[in-house]
Structure 1
Amino acid sequence: MRQILLLLTLLALVAGSCLAQSRDIVLEQGFSPDARYHLLITSNENDSGIPEAGLQITDVRRNTIVYLKGRQWKEYRDDARNRPTLVSLVALWKRSQAAVLARYGLSKPIPGERLFQVASFGDLGYPAGTASQTTPLGVLDLRSGRLSSACTYNDAPTQGFTLRLGNQELQRDARLPRSRQCASAYDLGTAWQYKTALAVLVRVYSRGWEGTDTTALVVTARLK
């Protein structure tokens, strides 16, 4: 009986850890008709229970973020019963970004073709330091490597990554940006292609206040 109670207690703790994790969910993504820009809109409920969303526009050829905007709804932190759905909150917020989206040709983004999708987020810890996926364009290969940073609360070495598609290098970290200064692992999530534009979603794992947080990072490239 005592062993059963202990097992139930452990299961409850694990379940609580799962619920406490902050994980970015992709609500919308797509390319501008000229394939110059890529849009990513994500949402999650952070470790403090606050619903939030992020909007990112990336220059495909340069693989650089040209516009980044976040939104939190702190007023709904302790009001889950009367809280609108996060999807509806984000949809309303997106309308306030209409001028920016129009500027980059992303008012009606084109989803493109999905090349693969990894359904699982992995376990409660960090995934392996390597990942690969076979796609119609070739093999995507992700390798993590240790990079120092200013992170002060992580319990594992901070990591950067290199991403290749066949012989084409898509990204190689020389240093960790502030947004990833506590990243300790990476994994491949999915990828989309439109014309000669490619967008790869990389999952970034870091230690949150109450578990492992997962955020979405997009790596873009022009296909050679």
Structure 2
Amino acid sequence: MRHSSRLIAALIASLILWFNSALAADRPGIVQAGFSPDAHYHLLLTAYDQDGSGFPVAAIQITDVRRNAVVYSVRKTWNTDTGVVAPGDPAAALKASQAAVLAHYGLSRPVSGQRLFMIAPLPMLAYPADQPAYRVTSLGILTLTPMALRSGCDYNDFPTRGFVLRLGQQVLQRDSRLPTSRQCASGYSLETAWTYKSSLVVIVRSYAQAFEGPNVFPLVVTGRLKQ
């Protein structure tokens, strides 16, 4: 009996170690998201501790809602190994340093809008399935469909994929190629969405192979709601 108990404890410990290693990757958390008062631009502010180094990282992305195109992005990493002192709140520090840019796009005080849904981040031990993901919202059904796309990625053990995102019959985004920023993406999942006036923002998570597990980065997909 005592031997069995030790064996079970060892198995549980091994599973915990495996579970944690499968989760170890860069997974930026959303600190703030919102629209400019005219609903033309969207701000996404994220922060996380870099996998491996533990360096704090913060990033800002501004998206033109009408064109579904990034118009400005900046990322700051505080390399504490070189004696750099990281701020207590990296996201707030980055936002303060970008005050002029945010003011230019009307995003000094972004409007959060109405949230349509929120899927709590769950532990991901594998990449999302190839099958479409659906989410019923008050505006219709969101459908996220992964699709195989070749890219220049040379270190991924998984097929690289793009996606199509639809709201009902309206196509919000259809990848024809993989940009360099996600050339090793192998899967996608829906996380959340907001509306403000006639603008829509959907956050899609992109999964890409990393040393100790998948990196899970947020993608901003925008669209104008049909009247």
CA distance in 2, matches of 1:83, 1:64: 31
Instruction: Provide closer, same or farther for how the CA distance between residues 96 and 78 of structure 1 changes in structure 2, counting only shifts above 3 A.
Output: closer
Q: Are 2:44 and 1:40 aligned?
A: yes
Aligned partner of 2:106 in structure 1 is 105
Query: Which residue, 57, 70, 78 being the options, matches 1:65?
Result: 70
Larger radius of gyration: 2
Aligned length: 220
The CA deviation at 1:77 is 9.0
* Root-mean-square deviation over aligned CA pairs: 1.9
The CA deviation at 1:83 is 5.8
CA distance in 1, matches of 2:96, 2:102: 9
Check whether the contact 2:23–2:213 (CA below 8 A) recurs between aligned residues. Answer: no
Query: Which residue, 148, 151, 154 being the options, matches 2:153?
Result: 151
Q: Are 2:56 and 1:51 aligned?
A: yes
The DSSP-based 3-state class of the residue aligned with 1:127 is coil
In the alignment, structure 2 segments of 5+ residues that lack a partner are none
Check whether the contact 1:31–1:38 (CA below 8 A) recurs between aligned residues. Answer: yes
Instruction: Provide closer, same or farther for how the CA distance between residues 77 and 159 of structure 1 changes in structure 2, counting only shifts above 3 A.
Output: farther
String of CA shifts for 1:25-75, please: whole Å, max 9, x gaps.
Answer: 000000000000000011112222221111000000100000010000111
Q: Are 2:26 and 1:22 aligned?
A: yes
Amino acid at match of 2:166: R
Amino acid at match of 2:67: R
After superposition, residues 1-224 of structure 1 pair within 5 angstroms as 1=3, 3-18=7-22, 20-48=24-52, 49-75=54-80, 84-85=87-88, 88-129=89-130, 130-224=132-226
Check whether the contact 1:51–1:77 (CA below 8 A) recurs between aligned residues. Answer: no
Check whether the contact 1:35–1:195 (CA below 8 A) recurs between aligned residues. Answer: yes
TM-score by length of 1: 0.92
Amino acid at match of 1:177: P
Amino acid at match of 1:30: G
The CA deviation at 1:153 is 1.2
The CA deviation at 1:21 is 2.0
The CA deviation at 1:76 is 6.2
String of CA shifts for 1:70-127, please: whole Å, max 9, x gaps.
Answer: 0001116999xx9654xx1220221110000000000000000000011133521111
CA distance in 1, matches of 2:215, 2:103: 32
In the alignment, structure 1 segments of 5+ residues that lack a partner are none
The CA deviation at 1:138 is 0.4
Percentage of pairs with the same residue: 52
Check whether the contact 2:23–2:124 (CA below 8 A) recurs between aligned residues. Answer: no
